[in-house]
């Protein structure tokens, strides 16, 4: 445990219910933050993830707010609309091409809400589980974007203007998926209680072939563990 540095400081943690954000929750809690988790029902076809976000927020005993967003009214993504989720993509392609599962504006909207809530809570630290190594090529998971948005959020907020600068903390940004899994296991994450698949069966069972499933599978394989979320199969 490493709870001394941030003893009971409030922080906002963006929690999707996926592998990365659940690990971030465990990490922030381990660092002593008083976490306030924020999730979004944004019309995602994999809304099963929200049930697991709820379970993990309860497991860590933290406040959890789920907001409803009209991102499906905007559209433009396979995750919120009728486009098919790509299956069986090559890892090299994932890193270099923005797929149709990209959701326009998603992380900017999520982080804007998180910053707003942080201001109201008197928190300065906002945690997000984005990753720019084993990932799907999303532009809103990249370091230069996060730095620019942090600057904008501070210029546009009362907190930032008054010297209580908000920080966007992405502790997994440069981690390989296997490192994230190893970290999370050490922090007590139960990955059976996380969901990554973009295109699950109605009961939440992962498809195994979308980018998220493939990256997760690769991570568990490289970490030398079996994915416990697959144990029911």
Contact call for residue 95 and a copy of itself (CB under 8 A): no
Of the listed pieces 83-91, 111-119, 192-200, 201-209, which binds a copy of itself according to CB under 8 A? 111-119
Of the listed pieces 19-27, 87-95, 105-113, 222-230, which binds a copy of itself according to CB under 8 A? 105-113
Contact call for residue 119 and a copy of itself (CB under 8 A): yes
42 touches 103 (CB < 8 A): yes
Contact call for residue 188 and a copy of itself (CB under 8 A): no
> Minimum distance from CB of 4 to a copy of itself (Å)?
30
Between helix 19-30 and helix 48-59 the angle, nearest 10°, is 10
Q: Among 160, 171, 184, 200, which residue sits at the site for a copy of itself (rule: CB under 8 A)?
A: 160
Contact call for residue 133 and a copy of itself (CB under 8 A): no
Rounded Cα distance, 28 and 13, in Å = 8
Separate counts of helices (H) and strands (E) for the chain: 9, 5
Kindly tell me which of 34 and 117 has the beta carbon lying closer to a copy of itself.
117
Residue 23: how many other CB atoms lie within 10 Å:
27
Report angle CA 162, 167, 173 to the nearest 5 degrees. 165
Q: Determine the 3-state secondary structure of 93 from DSSP.
A: helix
Q: Determine the 3-state secondary structure of 232 from DSSP.
A: coil
Residues at the contact surface with a copy of itself, assessed by CB under 8 A: 65, 67-71, 73-76, 98, 102-109, 112-113, 115-117, 119-120, 139-140, 142, 144-145, 148-149, 151-153, 155-158, 160-162
């Amino acid at each position: 445990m490493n709870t001394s540095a941030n003893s009971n400081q409030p922080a906002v943690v963006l929690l999707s219910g996926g592998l990365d954000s659940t690990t971030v929750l465990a990490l922030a809690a381990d660092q002593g933050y008083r976490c306030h988790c924020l999730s979004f029902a944004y019309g995602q076809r994999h809304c099963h993830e929200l049930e697991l976000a709820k379970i993990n927020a309860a497991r860590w005993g933290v406040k959890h707010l789920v907001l409803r967003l009209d991102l499906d009214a905007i559209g433009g993504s396979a995750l919120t609309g009728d486009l098919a989720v790509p299956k069986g993509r090559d890892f090299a392609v994932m890193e270099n091409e923005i797929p149709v599962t990209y959701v326009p504006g998603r992380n900017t909207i999520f982080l804007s809400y998180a910053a707003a809530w942080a201001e109201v809570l008197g928190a300065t630290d906002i945690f997000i589980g984005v990753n720019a190594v084993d990932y799907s090529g999303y532009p809103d998971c990249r370091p230069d974007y996060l730095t620019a948005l942090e600057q904008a959020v501070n210029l546009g907020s009362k907190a930032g203007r008054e010297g209580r600068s908000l920080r966007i903390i992405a502790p997994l940004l440069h981690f390989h998926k296997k490192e994230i899994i190893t970290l999370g296991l050490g922090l007590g994450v139960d990955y059976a209680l996380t969901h990554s698949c973009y295109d699950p069966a109605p009961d939440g069972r992962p498809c195994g072939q979308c980018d998220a499933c493939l990256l997760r599978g690769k991570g568990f394989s490289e970490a030398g563990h079996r994915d416990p979320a697959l144990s029911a199969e």
